Amino acid sequence: MKILKYKTWLLFLVVFISKNAFAQLGFCSGNSGDPIFIETFGSGATVPLPAGSTSYTYSSTRPDDGFYNVSSNTNWFTFHDIVDHTEGDTNGRMLIINADYASGEFYRTYINGLCENTSYEFSSWMINLLPASSCGGNGIPINVKFEIWDSTDTNLLASGDTGNINGTSSPNWQQYALVFQTLPSQTSIILKMLNNGVGGCGNDLALDDIVFKSCGDTIEIENATGTNTTVLCEDEIPFTTTLTAKPDYTIFSSHFYQWQESIDGINWINITGETNSSYTTPSISTDNYYRVKVAETLSNIDNDFCNSASEIYEIRVVPFPNAPLSNGDLMICENDSTPLSVTVPTGVNVNWYDANIGGNLLLTNSTSYNPSSSGVYYAEAETIESSCISSSRTALQIDYYNTPQVTDETLEFCENTTITLHANPADPSTVTSYLWSNGSSTEQTEVSNPGTYTVVVSNNSCSVTKTITLSQIDNPIIENIASNGTNIIVTTTNTGNFLYSLDGITFQSSPTFFNVEGGLYTIHVKHQDCDELITMQHIHFYIPEFFTPNGDNANDTFNLKGIEYYSSSQVTIFDRYGKLIKNGVNTSLSWDGTYNGELLPTGDYWYIIIIEGQKFTGHITLKR
């Protein structure tokens, strides 16, 4: 069963290489040469393999067990439906194998034109076409052995097994590789692929992009400073340097060199006579690239099937950038935050100075600058790569107009009053106009409602907005006035710094008045910062608990002050035997402790007081 093309990444297996020894799967640990053999299986309609390439039977439709197809799709059975692995292919084909019930060889191909005594890397991309959920989740994994034989098919040069590759929930191409070395006088090999598994539900694979490359040491190129790239500004050319090839000796035991140069890093030409490990460049004024081809034997140095190439050393010349393009001078108000700005190409930074040459660096790496004062400022271009500086700076001028100076305010005013708001600029002589949010056009405006007010203060060129937040001080709202014995207590529904008075003249901060004689009172309440008085009348009436008629003018009488202010009242006083001692109707009452001119003895005397239909009973103590 098959599937093809979704890219995933390489499965790197451990490489063990030694001459005349078999190798497990793995990639070239050094530098690979250019591909000397590529098999992509072409594109277009399905076709069979060339004769001798496989022992399996060709199927132009879906391949059953022991069959294969070379196709651009895998939409059979429950396979992942994929496209081939080759980059840029249109309708590209891949080899699809539905493994036979018996293990064995399913593909072989002959590779010619190799070099003797040379290490090579074979690689191929493969995919398990069976989704992980197929076959009840127990699909047979694919398992492939790669073998490299000499051209006589008698000497096995290298082999390696992939091990079991299980199905995945989504298509997963993986690359496998094998490194081998040709023998003396050997220029051809046979690649074989064998199925290690068995047929049945699973063991279905696709493979694509079989590649052979030469394999050599990893070779770095360094200059005297140990770097592999030189980036120059125009004032640093012409330039020359000595380059040295540094092989790591992981593959080759000896090294032969041929230096190459390129103007694009793609197309290379040999540098005549430069066959040592070091090379000194001529004077260079333009971009240039260098590399060195390396072979283990001199006879292989000019055969690209037999050598490998080093890393590339690049010499890159960065032109001086043009001075930044000005976006214009500015004439703006002091409170305007618009910056000076310039335009530069991608890859170029801008630095700001206070002088055309030299001067102080004000800001780096910004295409805009916001000065704090009027003047001329200079923008310099600098390339991100190699920090090449423009030969000139761009001058930009900014002039700030004076703006009226105002200060925002938060104010309060008393309820049921008005307040005059002022723009109050620092220098009124420079102001040419005012415009309030309520439409007023003078320096001041009178308002009577809380809220946020703004005024735009302008001179001939600039304007500024002042904001005044106005809140109202609410008058007190009297909720209740109550008598508690000789005390009067005032309760308000709102809170504030309130003052309280019984006469409207003398005020106190406490809402409780202590030891107040009975009577009719007008209670006055106000906020301490406002003048408006809130008033409410209150009849203060209380019944004394005792009196002392001893002639000292202190508490000598039993008085019911304030009772006279009620619309109807009746007072009756008895002794302990029920004898009527004193009474009064709709009038104030005062009793001096006598009856018919006779002093009554110390004791408790009982009262019945009816005020507007409400009855109060109790006793009063007479003390002598």
Which residue ranges form the domains of the chain, and what is each CATH number?
Answer: 31-216 (2.60.120.260), 219-318 (2.60.40.10), 325-401 (2.60.40.10), 409-473 (2.60.40.10), 478-540 (2.60.40), 546-622 (2.60.40)
Q: What is the secondary structure of 128-140 as a DSSP string?
A: E-S-TTGGGGTPB
Note the Cα 281 to chain centre separation in Å: 48
What pLDDT score was predicted for residue 591?
94
Give the type of residue at 600. L
What pLDDT score was predicted for residue 4?
29
The DSSP element (H or E) to which 57 belongs, if any, is strand 57-58
Question: Tell me: the pLDDT tens digits for 92-107?
Answer: 999 999 998 888 899 9
Paired sense of beta strands 325-326 and 308-309, if any = unpaired
Predicted model pTM: 0.51
What pLDDT score was predicted for residue 17?
32
What pLDDT score was predicted for residue 299?
82
Question: Tell me: the pLDDT tens digits for 580-596?
Answer: 999 999 998 999 999 99
Q: Are 533 and 563 in contact (CB under 8 A)?
A: no
Residue in 543, 546, 588, 545 with CA at minimum distance from that of residue 569:
588
Question: Using omega within 30 degrees of 0 as the cis cutoff, is the peptide bond preceding 282 cis?
Answer: no
Distance CA 223, CA 273 (A): 20
What pLDDT score was predicted for residue 81?
94
Q: Where are the beta strands (DSSP E) in 367-503?
A: 368-369, 375-383, 394-401, 409-414, 419-422, 433-436, 444-447, 451-458, 463-473, 478-484, 487-492, 498-501
Identify the segments of the chain with pLDDT beneath 50. Answer: 1-22
* Widest distance between CA atoms in the chain: 161
Q: What's the full length of the chain, in residues?
A: 624
Report, in angstroms and rounded to the nearest whole number, the Rg of the chain calculated over CA atoms: 54
The structure tokens 């290298």 sit at 158
